Amino acid sequence: MQFEVTHRDAGSQARAGRLRLPHGVVETPIFMPVGTQASVKALSSEDLRAIHAQIILANAYHLYLRPGVDVLELAGGVHRFMQWDRPVLTDSGGFQIFSLAELNKITEEGAAFQSHIDGSRHFFTPEKDIDIQIGIGADIIMCFDECTEYPAPFDRAEKSMRMTLKWAERCKRHWLGRAAADQALFGIVQGSTHESLRRECAAALVDMDFPGYAIGGVSVGESKAEMAEATGWCTEILPGDKPRYLMGVGTPEDLLAGIELGVDMFDCVMPTRNARNGSLFTSAGRVNIKNAKHVRDFGPLDPACRCPVCQTYSRAYLSHLFRSGEILALRLNTLHNLFFMLELSAQVREAVRDNRFGAFKQSFLQSYAGREDE
């Protein structure tokens, strides 16, 4: 993996860059669609190419349980399995073990849990998690960490952060031992909303020297102000020549806030989940396609949008599909919302290259704050 910051915005910490990975180049800042189970919900790999997705996420916990790492290895890796030839990042699955699975016991050695699918028992150590992710074959893999819940008192957050640091060291050592692996390993900063913990964790990870760094434990219930604060503490310390990834974030507004603080990469299920619930992004704000006023609106969802959906179908048809419970509604809505996030990323990159990120952000938010329907 190679990362290069090609432009720095004059009026903020926003930057534009290029991330070279085994399966291609990713231009940053970038939004990464979430394909938890080796499928971005409702879309095919061809759909993802059509909306210019550059890198997608998959999840080690989910893929380990189903179809299993052996199946992915036999397939020749997740890329060949899902016929997606561009970069993939796998999340370690730590978050899912602590939220989705039935967690039986967590010690410094690792986490014992039962599958949410069939109740089967499993034990993940940092080393095993790295092996799983290498088996899946993504371009970027993540350290096994504990995503600290919110709110977390200082003592609890400190204890959790220190374990995440110990796990990060073990992940790094194990990853180094698998020298043939193509994967770039990212460390994850925890520390909840506590400044000294965030700074200490970031500094310790930088000392370990990872190819890239993520900020975890955000977007877990804290306020926007708290999220921005925590992000800022981290980006102040994380090295400027390494990619920075804000995990599980976020809305169009969150993306801009993170980019302003120097973040390069984002992922979130919100654009796809909202799409499936009929909540759609437009340049003039969010549209609730269930709203009765769209039933007879034969214009495009967003006249300013160049996505395949806005180029082809009317609000009236999207409204009809959603109200009728048609499966096609899920796909068209998802195509549109993801295109919106990817197009926003592209516009930000251009603004940063032109030294006008601040003006772009202001103009975007002014229009977007219209929030047409909500």
Residues that bind a copy of itself (CB under 8 A): 37-39, 41-46, 62, 66-67, 71, 74-75, 81-83, 295-296, 298, 312-314, 316-317, 319-321, 323-324, 326-328, 330-332
Q: Rank residues 35 and 232 by Cβ distance to a copy of itself and give the closer one.
A: 35
**Could you tell me the smallest distance in angstroms from the CB atom of residue 140 to a copy of itself?**
22
Q: In terms of CB distance, is 285 or 308 closer to a copy of itself?
A: 308
Q: How far is the CB of 319 from a copy of itself (least distance, A)?
A: 8
Extract the tokens encoding 171. Answer: 């992940």
Instruction: Name the minimum Å distance from CB 254 to a copy of itself.
Output: 25
Closer to a copy of itself by CB, 290 or 356: give it.
Answer: 290
Q: Is 144 left (phi over 0), alpha (psi -120 to 50) or beta?
A: beta
Nearest to a copy of itself of 180, 292 (CB atom):
292
Return d(Cα 69, Cα 185) in angstroms, integer: 18
Which residue is associated with the tokens 């069939």?
Answer: 118
Q: Kindly tell me which of 8 and 320 has the beta carbon lying closer to a copy of itself.
A: 320
How do strand 88-91 and strand 56-59 relate by DSSP bridges? Answer: parallel
Out of 129, 139, 264, 267, pick the active-site residue: 267
Q: How far apart are the first and last CA of the chain?
A: 42
Supply 40's token pair.
Answer: 């971005």
Question: What letter represents residue 274's amino acid?
Answer: N
Residue 280 phi, psi (nearest 5): -120, 140
Q: In what order do the strands lie in the sheet with 102-106?
A: 102-106, 111-114, 121-124
Q: Which of 91, 254, 302, 373 is catalytic?
A: 91
Residue 170 or residue 294: which is nearer to a copy of itself going by CB?
Answer: 294
The tokens describing 280, both together, are 């759609």
Least distance CB 287 / a copy of itself (angstroms): 17
Q: Residue 125's CB: how many other CB atoms inside 10 A?
A: 18
* CA dist., res. 78 & res. 245, Å (int): 21
Find out whether 214 and 142 touch, Cβ atoms under 8 Å.
yes
Which residues is 123 bridged to in the sheet?
Answer: 112
CA distance 205 to 328: 45
Q: Shortest CA distance to 329 belongs to which of 42, 1, 7? A: 42
d(CA 282, CA 265): 22
Nearest distance from residue 90's CB to a copy of itself, in Å?
A: 16
> Is the bond preceding 258 in cis, omega lying within 30 degrees of 0?
no
Closer of 66 and 173 to a copy of itself (Cβ): 66
Catalytic residue check, 70: no
Give yes or no: 85 in active site: no
Helix 224-237 / helix 252-260 crossing angle, nearest 10 deg? 30
Task: Compute the least distance from the CB of residue 134 to a copy of itself, in Å.
Answer: 20
Least distance (Å) between residue 37 CB and a copy of itself: 5
Nearer to a copy of itself, 71 or 304 (CB): 71
Name which of 292, 298, 330 is nearest 315 in CA terms: 298
CB of 344 to a copy of itself, least distance (A): 24
Distance of CA 126 to the CA centre of its chain: 21
Catalytic residues: 91, 267
